[in-house]
Amino acid sequence: MRVLKNNVVCHPAKAPELTAGGLHIPDSMGREYKCRAFVIQVGPEVKDLKKGDEIIFAKADKFTSDTVEYVVLNADDVLLVL
């Protein structure tokens, strides 16, 4: 996979399995953050992000390849690097 221009490819971040009080959150409750991900590749025009960064983003597209889910977004849609 080769990322072009100022695009970013990420793996979606998973929410914790336990609540702050220690209760288990089942998979059926949707333990995936809606706007949080880990960067795996950046395009050549992206200067502020690198592989491994955890980010919060405004909007993105998702796709699956070989059963692996990816999030693709424009670097301008990244709001925070955690």
| CATH code, 74 | 2.30.33.40
Does 2 reside within a domain? Answer: no
Q: Where are the beta strands (DSSP E) in the chain?
A: 7-14, 32-42, 54-57, 61-65, 68-74, 78-81
Does 54 reside within a domain? Answer: yes
What average pLDDT score do residues 77-81 get? Answer: 96
* pTM (2 d.p.): 0.81
Which three-class secondary structure state does DSSP give residue 71? strand
Spatial separation of the C-alpha atoms in residues 58 and 74, rounded to whole Å: 10
Does 1 reside within a domain? Answer: no
Does 32 reside within a domain? Answer: yes
Number of domains the chain is built from: 1
Q: What is the pLDDT of residues 33-70, one digit of tens each?
A: 679 999 999 999 999 999 999 999 999 999 999 999 99
What average pLDDT score do residues 3-18 get? Answer: 90
Does 65 reside within a domain? Answer: yes
Boundaries of domain holding 44: 7-81
Q: Is the pLDDT of residue 31 over 70?
A: no
What average pLDDT score do residues 2-15 get? Answer: 92
> Which pLDDT belongs to residue 60?
92
